[in-house]
Structure formats: structure tokens, C-alpha cells
Amino acid sequence: MTTDALFKHIELLQGARPWGRVLDAGTGSASLRWITGLNTMSWTAVTADPQRARKLRNEFSDSQRDSDRILAGNWSDPLLLGGETFDVVLADYLIGSMDRFSPYFQYRFLRRLRPHVATRLYLVGLEPYREAGDDAGGRLVLEIANLRDACILHAGHRCHREYPSDWVIGELESSGFSVEEEKRFPIIYGTKFINEQLDVCRRKLEFIENQELVGGLRSRIDKLREEALAFYDVHRGIRFGYYYVISARPV
């Protein structure tokens, strides 16, 4: 299941209802590319990373209308988008990534977002990984994820923290939303996942002072890349975990 397929599912959920004013509450290239292809009145895209905001403004300068905005802002700021409402709001992997910019705010985020949602909220997330047991592919995915997080932490940075769909549904219902649908999509990881995650590991090494540790991590990164790509060559994918899409409306 690819990101494009998840967005296609959201389009099916939206059906014939107009998109109107759309808010991408935690934007990135993939979600904003999808939104610019929709028939919207306007869109607003928010990221907590000012560097990402600048990059996206350059990337989407040709498709941005006068009514469209890319904003650098944090949802922990009570003044962000004060008084504004949007017909459709997208929270694409946002709850999991919030720990990097507003740690512990996940427990207040959906209540914070509620006044901005006029008709629909679509929330996309990654279910936290379970134990892999005898699943060789699952063990590889877990080892890649654990090594990535270890490198991030040794670099002095913060990791993503994914939340299960059951927790999200409970928070939505206690924050003034009615959940209409939750659907899970099994994941088949490919070489893009392997290389992107292990490239994150490599980039974090420059922030680690202990060179003995750096040498050991670098060796493990290279070995794990070799193991995972070899597994992919045999099985043409690594099947483990799932994404979820939740559709909710304000009560």
C-alpha cells in the first residue's frame, strides 16, 4: 500500500462532497502534491519546520494560488490560525511526527484542532510495530526502525512516536469528533523504505562525537542494508505492519 493509495481512499470517502477550503495540518511534499491536484477553493499547509516551509514554497511556487498558504507554525501555539475554519482537514502522519517539535502535545492536539474542522477530518497514521516473532521480514523492519531510532537518539535528536488507531479514535471521540470509518492497509515495504531509513542513520552519524560508536553504527548500517536488500530480492517486498486512515466529523 503506497501513500498515493491512501490518498485515493480519502478521495473515495469524500465522494461528491466539495473540498472547499482545505487544511494540511502537518504538511510535506507528498500530501501537498496530492492537495494541489484536488478541486479546492484554497489550501493552507502548516509545518513546524521553518526550513521545510521554505523548501515547500520553492517546490510549489508554480501551483500556489493567491489564496493558498504555506505556514511555519506549531500547533502548541494557541494563536496559530486563530478563528479560521476549513471544510476538510488532513492530518497525514502528523501525530507520530509531533514528538520532534511539540513533544507530549499529542494528548491535546485533536482538541486543539477541533475548532478548525468544519465538515471532515482525515487522519493517516502508522500503527506501532508489534513483535515480529518468527517473521523474518518483520524482524528486519524492526531492526531497521530500532537502528534508525538509536542513531537519532545518539545524535541528540528526537524520534517519531507513533500512536495506535485505538488511541486516536478514543482521543477523537473525547475531543468533539464522531468517527465515521477506520480502515487498515497492510504494508509491503520495498527498497525505498530500506534505503531511506538507513540513509537517515548515516546522516545522524555526523552529530555523534564518540568515533568508536560511530564506527560500530556505520558497520551495522551497511550490513543491515545488505541483509534487507537481499531479502527484498528474494521476496520482492517485506510485508509487516499497517497504516490506518480514519475519517471523522465534528459533532
Say which residues have a Cβ less than 8 Å from residue 240's Cβ, sequence separation at least 6.
129, 132, 135, 137, 138, 141, 187, 189
pLDDT score at 158: 93
Q: How far apart are CA 157 and CA 205, in angstroms?
A: 12
pLDDT score at 57: 96
Q: How far apart are CA 227 and CA 97, in angstroms?
A: 28
| Per-residue pLDDT tens digits for 145-168 | 999 999 999 999 999 899 999 999
Residue pLDDT tens, the chain, 251 long: 457 899 999 999 999 999 999 999 999 999 999 999 999 999 999 999 999 999 999 999 999 999 999 999 999 999 999 999 999 999 999 999 998 889 889 999 999 999 999 999 999 999 999 999 999 999 999 999 999 999 999 999 999 899 999 999 999 999 999 999 999 999 999 999 999 999 999 999 999 999 999 999 999 999 999 999 999 999 999 999 999 999 999 99
pLDDT score at 2: 58
pLDDT score at 100: 87
Instruction: Return the DSSP state at 210.
Output: -
- For the four alpha carbons of 173, 174, 177 and 182, in that order, the dihedral sign comes to negative
Question: Do residues 244 and 125 lie in contact, with contact meaning Cβ atoms separated by under 8 Å?
Answer: yes
E strand or H helix at 244: strand 238-250
Q: Pairing relation of β-strands 238-250 and 177-189?
A: antiparallel
Question: Do residues 248 and 177 lie in contact, with contact meaning Cβ atoms separated by under 8 Å?
Answer: yes
Q: Closest Cα to residue 179, out of 191, 187, 171?
A: 171
Q: How far apart are CA 121 and CA 248, in angstroms?
A: 5
Q: Which domains does the chain have, with CATH numbers?
A: 3-250 (3.40.50.150)
Which three-class secondary structure string do you get for 129-190? CCCCCCCHHHHHHHHHHHHHHHHHHHCCCCCCCCCCHHHHHHHHHHCCEEEEEEEEEEEEEC
Q: DSSP of 46-72, one letter per residue?
A: EES-HHHHHHHHHHTTTT--TT-EEEE
Question: Do residues 162 and 125 lie in contact, with contact meaning Cβ atoms separated by under 8 Å?
Answer: yes
| CB environment 58-95: b (16+ within 10 A), e (fewer) | eebeeebeeebebeeeebbeeebbeeeebbbbbbbbbb
pLDDT score at 3: 72
> How much is the pTM?
0.93
